[in-house]
Amino acid sequence: CHPTFLAFALICEVSLLRAIMDGIPPLKDKRLIIKDLIFEKVKVRLYQPKTSTTGQRRGVLYFHGGVGRFGSIRKRHFFWTRAPLSRYDHTETLLFPCRYRLAPEFPYPTQFHDCLTATIHFMKTAQDYGVDPARIIVCGDSSGGTLTAAVAQALVNRKDVPKLRAQILIYPFLQAADFNLPSYQQNAKIPVLIRERTLILGLKYLNKDISAVNILLKGSHISEERRQKYQKWLSADNIPHEFKMRGYTPPGPPAPYSEEIYKLAKPFLEPLFSPLLCEDNVIAQLPETFILTCEYDVLRDDGLLYKKRLEDHGIKVTLCHLEEGFHGTIFLAAYSKVVTFQSGIKGLEKITKFLRLM
């Protein structure tokens, strides 16, 4: 399919998704106090259990997916009140979904800065909400997982806020250097996130020319020097053998390097967009991590490779791999009255179990 046609289709899709998500009415839940707040000019929504507790609670900041271009608090309200917050955990968690501003009206990296600003504000004021500052967790799905990882990295050297207790990354996008990893090959045509679409969404998010999509897929934006540097982090050898048994062929020689394509794609390789490419001295200081991956998802190997990088630096990682899962399965599990996705329900239960330990 021609990239221009795909771009037009994506513009229509984004507009439709925004309209649908903004049209979801606020869900009433008798177990929760729901408030709209402002954290340093960033809109957030508080979900607080009405049930009293004797001690301080944990606080979860949630960053939604949507490649920085769509998504809403209402959507995450539906997801989380139907899932871990109310189904499994009635008293111990305060949830703060962040309504960061969206592209293209607010260009990248506004989304990251909004999430970081909201997180720092909450970390400094957590006790005002009855939250233990030592029990603050950041969480996100898909591109929200990218934001989560980038925020966690940005906080490691700050002395004016407490340390994060943990980060939860749900099928996160973590690197734009190699689109030929096993999961990209195996799931190239599997909805909802096909290989070509992943890159086009990223280019649109960064307001870049999408005509170079095929050249980028071949890796022409990576110089030999960078390729050697990234090899120790992105090599398919770092992915367990069982994940390479389903239709993976080691790629041939890399495509010729293009300085022009590199200049176009340079933001792709910065840690804000590709947290997996962050330097070791930052990775070594990250908090305990939960990573959820899905077998039928092009982003699966991003999560697996990040797990290895973290563990190589002594960071405790809990991996939940959904063997029947696909990109978006966690959100769709919330609609269990319509259709049941057992993989998504399993993922929700694993997330909740992890939260209970925090």
Q: What is the pLDDT of residues 167-207, one digit of tens each?
A: 999 999 999 999 999 999 999 999 989 999 999 999 999 99
Q: Is pLDDT above 50 for 227?
A: yes
Q: What is the pLDDT of residues 119-165, one digit of tens each?
A: 999 999 999 999 999 999 999 999 999 999 999 999 999 999 999 99
Q: What is the pLDDT of residues 39-89, one digit of tens each?
A: 999 999 999 999 888 899 999 999 999 999 977 655 455 445 444 444 445
Which has more pLDDT, 28 or 94?
94
Q: What is the pLDDT of residues 256-312, one digit of tens each?
A: 999 999 999 999 999 999 999 999 999 999 999 999 999 999 999 999 999 999 999
pLDDT of residue 295: 98
Superfamily of domain 33-357: Alpha/Beta hydrolase fold, catalytic domain (3.40.50.1820)
Task: Give me the residue spans of the domains in the chain.
Answer: 33-357
The catalytic residue positions are 142, 297, 327
Q: Is pLDDT above 60 for 241?
A: yes
Q: What is the 3-state secondary structure (H, E, C) of the chain?
A: CCHHHHHHHHHHHHHHHHHHHHCCCCCCCCCEEEEEEEECCEEEEEEEECCCCCCCEEEEEEECCCCCCCCCHHHHHHHHHCCHHHHHCCCCEEEEEEECCCCCCCCCCHHHHHHHHHHHHHHHHHHHHCEEEEEEEEEEECHHHHHHHHHHHHHCCCCCCCCCCEEEEECCCCCCCCCCCHHHHHCCCCCCCCHHHHHHHHHHHCCCCHHHHHHHHCCCCCCHHHHHHHHHHHCHHHCCHHHHCCCCCCCCCCCCCCHHHHHHHHHHHCCCCCHHHCCHHHHCCCCEEEEEEEEECCCHHHHHHHHHHHHHCCCCEEEEEEEEEECCHHHHHCCCCCCCCHHHHHHHHHHHHHHHCC
Banded model confidence at residue 18, pLDDT cuts 50, 70, 90 = very low
